[in-house]
């Protein structure tokens, strides 16, 4: 083999090992997250309630168990739930009137009615003024269509009327996402209220809602610290944080078939290196043939 040919082969080897170097951190990263989650296996027993969009459907399908929940934040997104292959399906409604109007056309496509009761323009004033009466009406609608009812009140409504509303719901979601970087604040809110909710309704399932922002290990540690008080974990996602949602799902379900992080980028690098090797091999072959002739 000529000196130039050796150089070409050397360049090809460098390309191949560079690609393998790029892929190695991805595998190590996934292994580390799975190992970290395995240290707190109790959180794997919690069901997952995830707000989904098109990029998150395969992530949810890869991880979902029969008790997990795929959630859309608006009735207009109900069509996305048709792609869910496992678990329960939930649509979030902002008012009783909206539920009465839209539920009849989609009741057969969902398992759970979600009701966000919050201080703000999204919730009608009359419902804010009578939260217990509002949840009773939502309960009647859920029973009429044989559906479960999930309630996600804001912090203030949870404290002021949570115990009175708990008897009428199947799932109670405690919103902690705005304070998730302050573990003590979250603990001071969640730990006292959970036994009160369970006393009011022994059958209620309780989750805390976190958002897919910040450090995933910190989020999982927060969940682990609250695990004994919970039945599930609700995950608020966004189109901009799909990567964090993937990481969090891997951490919560290390044995699930969640699509690998960054696979497209690293696969492209590997394919490029292989193609480069093939091209170099062809060049070396023809040069050797020419040398022989």
What's the pTM value of the predicted model, to 2 decimals? 0.78
pLDDT at 138: 98
Position 258 scores a pLDDT of: 77
CA 151, CA 144: separation in Å to the nearest integer?
A: 17
DSSP structural state of residue 121: T
Q: Are residues 220 and 252 in contact, defined by beta-carbon separation less than 8 angstroms?
A: yes
pLDDT of residue 288: 66
User: If DSSP codes are grouped into helix, strand and coil, which group holds residue 232?
Assistant: strand
pLDDT of residue 269: 42
d(CA 164, CA 292): 91
DSSP states along 135-177? HHHHHHHHHHTT-EEEE---HHHHHHHHHHHGGG-SEEEEE-G
Calculate the CA 76 to chain-centre distance: 20
* pLDDT for the residue 232: 98
Q: So what's the pLDDT on residue 281?
A: 60
Helix, strand, coil percent content, the chain, rounded in steps of 5: 65, 15, 25
Q: Among 278, 210, 220, which Cα is nearest to 41's?
A: 220
Residues in a beta bridge with 51: 71
Q: What count of other Cβ atoms lies within 10 Å of the Cβ of residue 121? A: 8
pLDDT at 260: 57
15-45 tens-digit pLDDT:
444 444 444 444 344 444 444 434 345 899 9
Q: Please say whether the beta carbons of 190 and 208 come within 8 A.
A: yes
Q: What percent of the chain has pLDDT over 70?
A: 74
Taking alpha carbons only, the member of 100, 153, 103, 155 closest to residue 131 is: 153
> Which distant-in-sequence residues (6+ apart) come within 8 Å of 254 by Cβ?
33, 34, 35, 37, 38, 44
Q: From its phi and psi, is residue 281 left (phi > 0), alpha (psi between -120 and 50) or beta?
A: alpha
Nearest to 247 by CA among 218, 209, 270, 207: 218
- Token output for 210: 């976190």
pLDDT of residue 257: 76
**What dotted CATH number matches 46-259?**
3.20.20.70
User: How many whole angstroms separate alpha carbon 190 and alpha carbon 174?
Assistant: 8
Contact 279, 8 (CB under 8 A): no
- Distance of alpha carbon 127 from alpha carbon 283, whole angstroms: 75
Structure tokens belonging to residue 18: 């560079």
User: CA 197, CA 99: separation in Å to the nearest integer?
Assistant: 25
Give the pLDDT score at 286.
59
- The ranges of the chain with pLDDT < 70 are 1-41, 260-293
């Amino acid at each position: 083999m000529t000196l130039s040919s050796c150089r070409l082969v050397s360049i090809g080897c460098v390309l191949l090992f560079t690609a393998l170097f790029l892929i190695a951190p991805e595998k190590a990263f996934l292994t580390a997250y799975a190992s970290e989650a395995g240290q707190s296996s109790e959180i794997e027993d919690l069901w997952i309630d995830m707000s989904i969009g098109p990029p998150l459907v395969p992530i949810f399908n890869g991880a979902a168990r029969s008790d997990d929940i795929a959630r859309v934040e608006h009735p207009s997104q109900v069509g996305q739930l048709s792609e869910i292959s496992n678990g329960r399906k939930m649509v979030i409604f902002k008012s009783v009137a909206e539920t009465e109007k839209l539920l009849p056309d989609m009741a057969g496509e969902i398992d759970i009615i979600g009701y966000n009761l919050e201080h703000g323009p999204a919730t009608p004033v009359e419902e804010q003024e009578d939260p217990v009466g509002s949840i009773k009406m939502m309960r009647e609608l859920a029973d009429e269509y044989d559906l479960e009812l999930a309630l996600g009140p804001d912090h203030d409504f949870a404290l002021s009327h949570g115990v009175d509303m708990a008897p009428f719901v199947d799932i109670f979601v405690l919103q902690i996402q705005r304070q998730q970087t302050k573990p003590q604040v979250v603990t001071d809110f969640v730990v006292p209220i959970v036994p009160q909710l369970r006393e009011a309704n022994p059958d209620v399932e309780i989750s805390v809602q976190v958002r897919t922002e910040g450090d995933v290990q910190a989020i999982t540690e927060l969940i682990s610290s609250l695990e004994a008080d919970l039945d599930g974990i609700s995950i608020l996602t966004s189109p901009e944080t799909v990567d964090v949602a993937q990481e969090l799902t891997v951490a919560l379900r290390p044995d699930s078939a969640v699509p690998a992080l960054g696979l497209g980028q690293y696969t492209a690098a590997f394919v490029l290196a292989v193609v480069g090797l093939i091209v170099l091999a062809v060049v070396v072959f023809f040069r050797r043939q020419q040398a022989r002739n």
